[in-house]
Structure 1
Amino acid sequence: MSPQAEDFTIGVEEEYQIIAPTTRKLCSRVQQILPIAHKALGEQVQPEAQMSQIEIGTPVCRTLDDVRAEIVRSRREVIAAAAKDGNKIAAAGTHPFSSWQEQEITPKERYQALMRDYQQLTRELMICGCHVHVGISDRQMAIGVINRARVWLSPLLALSASSPFWLGTDTGYASYRTEIWSRWPLSGPPLIFDSLAQYQALVEALIATKSVEEATKIYWDVRLSERFPTVEFRVTDVCMTVDEAVMIAGLTRALARTCYERASKGEPFAAVRHELVRAAVWRAARYGLDTELIDLDAGRAIPAAKLVEKFLAFVRPSLEEYRDWDEISSLVQQTMQHGNGATRQREAYKRAGHLEDVVDLIVAETTKGIG
């Protein structure tokens, strides 16, 4: 199947925090907010594992303009619904100081099953990510995309990182969400798969051994979606601003298409060891854009800015074909100049020394650009 035969559509899922405006703590109000949000967004808005979270999913989008419009609409409606309940919405990978002990698990069978199976890991699942689906219906070719995309997960994470604080402490990480999530047994970067059959055989073995109940509970950083004909990228924190969310969506689609085109030509790819890929993702979670990251192609550490430049060069032909280059390269430059969400949160904390000010920043940036 040629690249032109695939749609390379985009779907974005964002997880948000529900914030009590006076205390700035998380508050378990999703059951009150959902019915209001459903009136505007229908099934595009859903609960998440914790009752202090709410998730949106865009419709299938064909352009980045569509993505921007849908994220703006979704954020606007969820923020409005929360406001009617007297609360606010924040888009960040972790809450700066709320405790997991004060949260309630959503009374939905999927999340209750997670609680039964994973216990303390589920109680502490107080994190928010962004998942980007790219439409690729040929599942064999999608495996080729995953094999090639796994070496570029770290710059995506570094650009999106928005979770430096956890339980009132600066963790020293740009994406502490990644570290919380990495404790789950089927998380992190995937291995290389020789074929779709090998991928499916592993999924079947994981289910047969009762390692997972079903395939949607395999949480690799990039995987085949079980619900849609897509490759799903799950590595990034939820972005604080709409601009950053659009940036991640554009980069992800361009990465998927670039990898697809190389796979369709049978071009070889670097069979980088799993340990190095994990190390690269860990380093992006630890340092974000602040120091050196791992260039898996060259097998050495290089400044984060250089790795981001190399990533942009890799996906540039695809971005140009979609006429997205000017917008995405500009948004990347803004992030490099002003810092990712983690950097901006730390700067807010340094200004006043109060984590409540960090929450205020996140809430303000979540509304930025929604009109």
Structure 2
Amino acid sequence: MPVQQDEREPVSSAVGATFGVEEEFHVVDATSLAPLDSPGLAEDLQQGRWGSTVHPEISTAQIEVTTGVCTSLEQVRREVLAGRAAARAACAEHGAAPLPASTHPELHWEDQRLTGQARYLDLFDRWGPMALQQTICGCHVHVGVPDLDTAVAVMDRVRPWLPVLVALTGSSPFHEGADTGHESWRTTWWSRWPISGPPELLGDAEGYRRAVEELVGAGVVDDAHGLYWDVRPSARYPTLEFRVGDVCTRVDDVVLHAALCGSLTRVLAAHAREGRPVPQLRPELARAARWTAARHGLRGPLLDPLAGVPVAPDTAVGALLALLRDDLEDHGTWPEVEATTTALLARGTSAAAQRERVRRTGSLREAVAWALRTGSEG
């Protein structure tokens, strides 16, 4: 569900002046840490008992939290912390807790059911069991843009950098009781949908509209709301929505992810205004780079999709920071971004931390316990 705008606050139309974050969480039993299917919690959320920031998701074993429209990284941090606290309070009434990771190590799709909202039932009618097999959660970042042409210009230029965002956010190493060998199994699992992944080059707003019309004509989607691309224009708000990230267990990493998405939007919109050429990225290499990032994360080589060669993770991340540094310095956020990125590269992702706890203890639920503790810290 898209972030909601606070009508009391004027929102700038400048590129990248605003942010919003959506986080999806699995629901777990607060005592056993097992996955918990909770129709009662879903019903409470559908009735709006917990306000405008906590929502039901596609299954009754999931929950979603949204920030308002934020104008600074400090505000993103405050609202993410507040949203997570609200989610914990809502879950606690049902003996549950929200898990800030993209997979629960033991959740099987047969153990959950669809939330009874019309849009989710429509998904099941169209896609069958795939709609119910969504045992994954994601983190979506909305970045303000003034118009559709700007959104598409950024989409065309951001494709080489999306795998780096995948690598920095991995939190889904386990799935249905097994170690997948991936840092972001969510990314690979999500690839089954034909309307997911990196979008092709669209050129401009008219190119985007034609693509939507063709997909609607093919019966694949009803409208632009049904596009699950890694990055897309919001169908409801003046934002570009980055959908590529896993759920970040640490709040620091959520803020970093929002900062990178915002800066990428500003920098690449400026490139478009300056008439710089769009990177000509082969679709096969775009998909390969995405898969490589999901597989290795920060543990092993990433694929430079423009050069078509493997590179070290710190090389890929360093190239991204070099692209964004001037913009981040202009916005006063470079010290925070640099420090958080350095810490992340040193300690590894949530996926790495979860895997290490399971290795040491032999218990998949120790990964859950770690994520619950770490995700509640400020």
Deviation at 1:211? 1.2
Q: 1:154 aligns with which of 157, 163, 166?
A: 163
Q: Secondary structure at the match of 1:77?
A: helix
Aligned pair 1:16/2:25, yes or no?
yes
**2:323 equivalent to 1:314:** yes
**Distance in 2 (alpha carbons) for counterparts of 1:333 and 1:6:** 27
Letter in 2 for 1:337: A
Instruction: Work out the CA distance in 2 between the residues paired with 1:34 and 1:139.
Output: 36
Q: CA RMSD in A?
A: 1.7
| Residue pair 2:81, 2:251 contacting (<8 A) in 1 also | yes
Give the percent of matched residue pairs that are identical in Structure 1 and Structure 2: 39
CA offsets 1:278-299 (integer angstroms, 9 cap, x no match):
1111100011011110123433
In structure 2, C-alpha distance between the alignment counterparts of 1:306 and 1:156, rounded to whole Å? 14
Aligned to 1:338: 347
Preserved CA contact (<8 Å) 2:14 2:145:
no
Distance in 2 (alpha carbons) for counterparts of 1:78 and 1:333: 30
> What is the CA–CA distance in structure 2 between the aligned matches of 1:216 and 1:196, rounded to whole Å?
16
Give the TM-score of the pair, scaled to structure 1: 0.95
Q: Give secondary structure in 1 for the equivalent of 2:55.
A: strand
**Which residue is equivalent to 1:226?**
235
Alpha-carbon displacement from aligned partner over 1:104-162 (angstroms, at most 9, x marks no partner): 11111111111111112112101100000110022112111001111100111101000
Measured in 1, the distance between the counterparts of 2:72 and 2:283 equals: 33
Q: Following the alignment from structure 2 to structure 1, what is the Cα–Cα distance between the partners of residues 119 and 53?
A: 18
TM-score, normalised to structure 2, is 0.93
Of 23-32 and 165-174, more deviation after overlay is shown by 23-32
> What is the aligned partner in structure 1 of residue 176 from structure 2?
167
Q: 1:312 to 1:335 in 2, by over 3 A?
A: same
Deviation at 1:262, TM superposition (A): 0.6
Gaps of 5+ in 1: none
1:352 matched to 2:361? The reply is: yes
- The one-letter amino acid of 1:175's match is S
Note if contact 1:161-1:174 (Cα within 8 Å) is conserved in structure 2. yes
Hey, what's the Cα distance between the residues in 2 that align with 1:39 and 1:186? 30
Tell me, in whole angstroms, the C-alpha distance in 2 between the residues paired with 1:34 and 1:13: 20
Q: How many residues align?
A: 367
Alignment-derived partner of residue 84 in structure 2: 75
1:48-105 CA-to-partner distances (Å, cap 9, x unmatched) read: 1110100011111010001000000000111122122211111111110121111111
Query: SS state of the match for residue 46, structure 1?
Result: strand
1:16–1:213 CA distance, 2 compared to 1 (3 A): same
Q: 1:317 to 1:38 in 2, by over 3 A?
A: farther
Report what 2:120 is aligned to.
111
Task: Write 1 or 2 for the structure with the bigger share of helix.
Answer: 1
Matches for 1:1-371 after TM superposition, within 5 Å:
5-6=14-15, 8-29=17-38, 31-32=40-41, 35=44, 42-369=51-378
Gaps of 5+ in 2: 1-11
